[in-house]
Chains A and B, each alone.
Chain A
């Protein structure tokens, strides 16, 4: 079913909107949640909460990309869950991603005010636009969809360590970009 048809179901308050969403995007959303939480039960709850959130927000929201809209909700919910429960549970997925992202932290210490999340996202957008499509896709597959390095390496037909090196260079590139823009975190 096309996105616009699914959104029409939400607009009409027809509950099959959820099952159609699940059929089309359930696997992707589960993947996003599981890659962050590395816990199947928690991931299932997050995906379920995503559907609930979509049901409560569409309408009035009319997302252009249902995939990105739902994915963002799942990602936010997963990160929140991870943050709240990290003391109690060990979520290997996000821990590893965060340790990698320390490479992106700019060294600037003399900026007057720290960036808000939205502004930082816009800066990352600008950096992403400077990349080749393949590098951009790779970066987002790793740090937005949180796909495992070995999965990405297999898809690229390359060794995991080589791909890890490529990701490291991308993180360094982002760090330099943020520093160049005078951004502090």
Chain B
């Protein structure tokens, strides 16, 4: 086989070439920006605030409402998939440590005046056995699906030996991907969140995702030139959508622009760029921080122009629109910290950070490197370089998070570890009229990502008066009083789906 000789010989090519191939991204043949430049030579692409929201199916701090979904194994196909319960694991596999696990789903009403059940309180309980003759201190890791936005609601409380502890939190990267505007595989304008447990399996099974979650966040030590806009003036009483625009020309191969607080943009021929914002009027709920961040060659001369509204075109100019532009040289990570702080000051309210700003800024940095203009092959979604989008979506996009804590188990003894949490259901949106409207799905994986040997796996349902099971592979039989089952730890995935029964009015 002559071709095998070539195949073998290629193995031995110079290691510099292997390094080069491993670290050099392939040049994109035609990226969207270039395509737009070529096809729509003089076309104006306005990104008005409303159109951005429509185009990207999101608003600042948007949740999962746009997420498509599908089921898992033999379970239903749900439009919003909450992700499975994951098993506890150890930072280092230890053959002397084994466990029993019991998962209890409690369907009691959360509040006295609730009419029906929504979600479940879950106690994921482990008894860890130390079969060796010496005391062992192990680092345990408990994974769970959440976003930074939902963290306060979904983060488990951990007890070890009956004592509540404060574990360390680590966040993996965005767990999903991107798809076309209508969900098709081609394109990358919309997020494509994980929609099945198999998706999580693909994400987690080789261990690299978890390793990435425990790695240090990147620091964006990139020198940047920052243009900050202040002292806004415009006749906003007469023109409530008065717009300030800045235009300049760049060499796209040498300059990358990130924006924050801007509402519109235009890409023209020969590197022409225009960015615009509605002049703050103290009425519109929008940040007054307006910043352009220039990476690479500076933008040089620029032109400021006022307009009556977001249509930045001839004949629509407006006198009396002005701003002060301050140029400064900074480091990107410092600027990012300021923007993250501004973002939460502006849009936080009920969405405040439950982690340190330092941690979240690190997650945004990681997100930018993976998907933003700092990425070599970022999705179309972020090709405008809108920092507002990247901060918002680093906050709201789903991830797998990890709680890490130490457990000491005396020789030949056992210690109980419990993770108590609220678990959101998987569900179909009511307005769709699907057959599964009103059905809540819950699932769990038994081994995925875990190096812990399970001796026994059980599950139980508590306070089941207001639910009925419609599909499952657990083996519960509520009508005959079977609400506790022993499961097979080698079965990868278990699911059950319920309908709720409305509580009788008192």
Chain A residues near B (Cβ < 8 Å): 19, 22-23, 26-28, 30, 63-65, 67-69, 71-72, 75-76, 79, 83, 94, 97-99, 101-102, 104-105, 117-118, 120-121, 124-125, 128, 133-134, 136-138, 140-141, 143-145, 152, 154-158, 162, 185
How near does chain A come to B383, taking the closest CB pair, in angstroms? 11
Task: Give complex CA distance A139, B30 in Å.
Answer: 19
9 A–B contacts from the bound complex (CB under 8 Å):
A22-B211, A72-B18, A79-B7, A79-B8, A94-B7, A143-B7, A144-B11, A144-B18, A145-B22
* A contact residues around B163 at 8 Å (CB): none
Taken together as a complex, chains A and B put the C-alpha atoms of A108 and B17 apart, in Å, by 27
The answer, among B9, B19, B21, for a CB contact under 8 Å with A141, is: B21
| Apart from the given pairs A76-B11, A157-B30, A158-B30, 19 other A-B contacts in the complex at a CB distance below 8 Å | A23-B211, A26-B208, A26-B211, A28-B22, A64-B15, A65-B15, A67-B18, A67-B19, A68-B15, A71-B18, A94-B7, A97-B7, A98-B4, A105-B6, A121-B9, A121-B13, A125-B14, A144-B10, A157-B377
Also in contact, A133 and B7, with CB within 8 A (given A69-B15, A156-B29, A185-B2): no
**In the A-B complex, the 6 residue pairs with the closest CB atoms:** A121-B12, A68-B15, A140-B21, A27-B208, A120-B9, A68-B18
Report how far A162 CA is from B20 CA in the complex, Å: 23
Contact status A26-B13, CB under 8 Å: no
Instruction: Kindly state whether residue B253 has any CB partner on chain A within 8 Å.
Output: no
B285: Cβ under 8 A from any A Cβ: no
A56 to chain B, nearest CB (A): 19
Known A-B contacts A137-B24, A156-B27; the reply to A185 vs B17 at CB < 8 A is no
A22-B207, A30-B206 known; A137-B2 Cβ under 8 A? no
Contact status A72-B206, CB under 8 Å: no
8 Å CB contact of B10 from A22, A105, A124, A138 = A124
Instruction: Determine the distance from Cα of A117 to Cα of B9 in the docked complex, in whole angstroms.
Output: 5
| B39 CB-CB contact with A under 8 Å | no
Check B31 for interface membership: any CB of A closer than 8 A.
Answer: yes
A34 to chain B, nearest CB (A): 9
Known: A23-B211, A30-B206, A101-B6. A137 touches B21 (CB 8 A): yes
Quick check: is B3 within 8 A (CB to CB) of the other chain?
Answer: yes
User: Inside 8 A of A101's CB, which chain B residues have their CB?
Assistant: 3, 6-7
If the complex has contacts A98-B7, A117-B8, A117-B12, are A128 and B208 also in contact, measured as CB distance less than 8 A? no
- Docked CA distance A144–B25 (Å): 15
Interface residues of B in 191-230 (CB under 8 A from A): 206-208, 211, 215
How far is B207's CA from A124's CA once the two chains are assembled, in angstroms?
35
A-chain residues with CB within 8 Å of residue B31 when the two chains form the complex: 157
Q: Which residue of A lies closest to B20 (CB)?
A: A137
Given A65-B19, A144-B13, A98 and B3 touching (CB < 8 A)? yes
Q: Is the CB of B4 within 8 A of A83?
A: yes
At the interface, is chain B mostly helix, strand, loop or mixed? helix
Knowing A136-B20, A140-B17, say if A98 contacts B12 (CB, 8 Å).
no
The CA of A99 and the CA of B21, in the complex, are separated in Å by 22
Question: In the bound complex, do residue A121 and residue B206 qualify as a contact, i.e. CB atoms below 8 Å apart?
Answer: no
Identify the closest chain A residue to B91 (Cβ): A19
What is the minimal beta-carbon distance from B172 to any residue of chain A, in angstroms?
14
Q: Nearest CB to that of A1 among chain B residues?
A: B215
Instruction: Looking at the assembled complex, report how far the CB atom of A113 sits from the nearest CB atom of chain B, in whole angstroms.
Output: 14
| Number of B interface residues in the complex (CB < 8 A) | 37
Across the interface, which residues of B come within 8 angstroms of A125, CB to CB?
13-14, 17
Most chain B CB within 10 A, of A97, A120, A137, A138, is at A137
Known: A124-B10, A158-B30. A133 touches B20 (CB 8 A): yes
Checking B12, B30, B207 against A118 with a beta-carbon cut-off of 8 angstroms, the contacting residue is: B12
Contact mask for chain B residues 97-128; partner A; CB cutoff 8 A; 1 contact, 0 none = 00000000000000000000000000000000
CB-CB under 8 A from B5, the residues of chain A are 117, 120, 185
Q: How far is the CB of B250 from chain A (nearest CB, A)?
A: 21
Residues of B within 8 A of A83 (CB): 4
A-chain residues with CB within 8 Å of residue B208 when the two chains form the complex:
26-27
**Are A79 and B26 CB-contacts (below 8 A) given A27-B206, A105-B3, A140-B18?**
no
Docked-complex contact B22 and A67, CB < 8 angstroms: yes
Given the complex, which residues of B lie within 8 Å of A136, measured CB to CB?
Answer: 17, 20-21
Assess the B6–A75 pair: CB atoms within 8 A. Answer: no
A50 to chain B, nearest CB (A): 13
Instruction: Please give, as numbers and ranges, the residues of chain A lying within 8 Å of B17 by CB-CB distance.
Output: 125, 128, 136, 140
With CB as the reference atom, state the residue of chain B lying closest to A118: B12
- Are B12 and A133 closer than 8 Å at their CB atoms? no
Min CB gap B438→A, angstroms:
38
| A26 and B207 contacting across the interface, CB-CB below 8 Å | yes
State in angstroms the CA–CA spacing of A27 and B13 once bound together.
Answer: 22
Rounded to whole angstroms, the CA-CA distance of A43 and B340 in the bound complex is 42
A157 in contact with B29 (CB, 8 Å): yes
Q: Does B284 contact A (CB under 8 A)?
A: no
Please tell me if B133 contacts chain A, counting CB pairs below 8 Å: no
Hey, which chain A residues are within 8 Å of B26, CB to CB?
A: 134, 137-138, 141, 152, 155-156
- Shortest Cβ gap from A176 to chain B (Å): 14
In the complex, what distance in Å separates the CA atom of A117 from the CA atom of B7? 10
Q: Which of A68, A128, A134, A185 has the most CB of B within 10 A?
A: A68
B28 interface residue (CB < 8 Å to A): yes
| Contact residues in A for B3 (Cβ distance below 8 Å) | 98-99, 101-102, 104-105
Bound-complex Cα distance A162 to B28 (A):
13
Chain A: CB-nearest residue to B15:
A68
Q: Is B1 an interface residue (CB 8 A)?
A: yes
- Specify which chain A residues have a CB less than 8 angstroms from the CB of B25 in the assembled complex: 155
Q: What's the minimum C-beta distance from B490 to chain A, rounded to whole angstroms?
A: 15
With A79-B7, A120-B5, A185-B6 in contact, do A133 and B24 touch (Cβ < 8 Å)?
yes
- On chain B, the residues within 8 Å of A30 by CB distance are 206
Expressed in whole angstroms, the Cα–Cα distance for A55 and B305 within the complex equals 65
Q: Nearest Cβ in chain A — how far from B188, in angstroms?
A: 9
Query: In the complex, what residues of A have CB within 8 A of residue B211's CB?
Result: 22-23, 26
Q: Which residue of B lies closest to A98 (CB)?
A: B3
Select one of A72, A105, A185 contacting B12, CB under 8 A. A72
Tell me, in angstroms, the Cα distance from A79 to B3 when the chains sit together: 12
